[in-house]
Amino acid sequence: MKDGYSFDRDEAGLDQSYRKHSEAYHRIFDRCGLEALEVAAESGIMGGSGSHDFLAPSGSGENTLVRCENGDYAADLEIAGGVPPAADFPEELGAPEEVETPGQRTIEDVSQFLGVDPRATAKAMPVVADGRVVLALVRGDDRLNEMKLLGVLGENFRPAEDAEIVETFGADGGSIGPVDVAVEVIADEALREGQYVVGANRDDRHLRGVQAGRDYEPRFADLREVREGDACPRCGGHLRLQVAIEVGHIFKLETKFTGPLEAKFLDEDGTERPLIMGSYGIGPGRVIAAAVEQHNDEQGIAWPKSIAPYDAHVVALPGAEQQAEQAAQTLDEAGLDVLLDDREQRAGEKFADADLIGCPIRVTVGKKTLEDGAVDVRERASGEERRVPLSELGSVA
């Protein structure tokens, strides 16, 4: 990692350090030829009051970038918000109605058995945090975002075990719900309105017409994982999900570490105060991976000039080895890092390897060079090719 830290006397100083690092990171990624978006992110175990990811869209990666089609919203999937499609609710009931659902354990099973929209059901997921059982509740068609739940609970948790579920709710995991339970219920914001089918806390039974605020009192929070096609929370446009590589991350740690470590300073009147801390990191290996993902074609890599392993790849064809060495020396004297391919291989194989390696320019020295004293210079990214006299080759730098 490229790590950096800031230590300031107050929040205003931290804000300034944070902004300067953000601006510097944007310049770094621009110079590396990367498209990297700064988006709101989950701080995770680093903690603090907030953080931002720098995500590079790519064909592979461990992160998911959520972007609005209108370009006014972007976030890491771990923290992204979105508005789900509306549910098709059945006729409202004045009170919950218990129905038998023999052998129906999944949302798909229950909704099909009762003939209701899966979006009009609620999915109950019991977890254990600090020795207590908590019931997380999301709409039946949604997935629980564990990082969001971690942020709500403020502590690590684990899924409740089967025995814990039966002991707490009196039924197995396929038949539990939020009504008349002695545990905290945290419900997703999407469950504020409408009536839902939930488990009845009796095996093979569910409740119709359950309404938050009337039949149970939850703590509401954003718990759901955003999905492709959700509405943008800012403009209502469609959200799109894209795989991305996290190439940088910045955090406002404040006093999370300086407090316990008693890292302090004396202010003007001699009072001890804790240092306000920020943390900033770039993954150089991730930058390289993202560059390869964003700059390639069917033939191989097309390195951005600023981070290419070599500036020029000189291909020596049979009979022109001496002229190829002269070309490499000219480029070297012009300040370029040069890779000279003087292997005894066929021209086609050398060209294929040059495209695969992807140096910004390829210089081909062959029989024609012996005739006119010029070489072929090909731009790897654009494919444009031009004839350049050996004596003027240094100008390509």
Summarize the confidence of residues 48-71 as an average pLDDT.
92
Confidence of residue 188 (pLDDT cuts 50, 70, 90): very high
Residue 320: name the closest of 354, 361, 369, 363 by CA.
369
CATH fold, domain 97-221, is YbaK protein (3.90.960)
Which CATH class name applies to 2-82+228-293?
Answer: alpha beta
* Residue 59 bridge partners (DSSP): none
Summarize the confidence of residues 244-258 as an average pLDDT.
96
Question: Fold identical between 2-82+228-293 and 97-221?
Answer: no
Radius of gyration of the CA atoms of the chain, in A: 30
Backbone angles phi, psi at 339, to 5 degrees: -110, 120
Percent share of the chain, pLDDT over 90: 92
Burial of 393: CB neighbours in 10 Å, binned 0-12, 13-18, 19+: buried
Backbone angles phi, psi at 70, to 5 degrees: -90, 0
**For the residues of 274-295, what is the DSSP string, one character each?**
EPEEEEEEE-HHHHHHHHHHHS
Three-class SS of 350-393: HHHHHHHHCCCEEEEECHHHHHHCEEEEEECCCCCEEEEEHHHH
Burial of 317: CB neighbours in 10 Å, binned 0-12, 13-18, 19+: buried
Contact indicator for 249, 41 with CB cutoff of 8 Å: yes
Which string of b and e fits 136-152 if b means at least 16 CB within 10 Å? bbbbbbbebbbbbbbbb
Architecture of domain 301-396: 3-Layer(aba) Sandwich (3.40)
Percent share of the chain, pLDDT over 70: 99
**SS3 of 163, please?**
helix
pLDDT 10s digits, 267-289: 999 999 999 999 999 999 999 99
Contact indicator for 310, 339 with CB cutoff of 8 Å: yes
CA angle 37, 41, 43 (to 5 degrees): 140
Summarize the confidence of residues 11-40 as an average pLDDT.
96
d(CA 79, CA 222): 9
pLDDT 10s digits, 15-25: 999 999 999 99
Average pLDDT, the chain: 95
Question: pTM, whole model, 2 decimals?
Answer: 0.82
Summarize the confidence of residues 262-268 as an average pLDDT.
94
Confidence of residue 45 (pLDDT cuts 50, 70, 90): low
Confidence of residue 102 (pLDDT cuts 50, 70, 90): very high
d(CA 296, CA 291): 9
Sequence spans of domains, the chain: 2-82+228-293, 97-221, 301-396
Contact indicator for 204, 103 with CB cutoff of 8 Å: yes
Summarize the confidence of residues 191-202 as an average pLDDT.
97
Confidence of residue 48 (pLDDT cuts 50, 70, 90): confident
pLDDT 10s digits, 332-375: 999 999 999 999 999 999 999 999 999 999 999 999 999 999 99
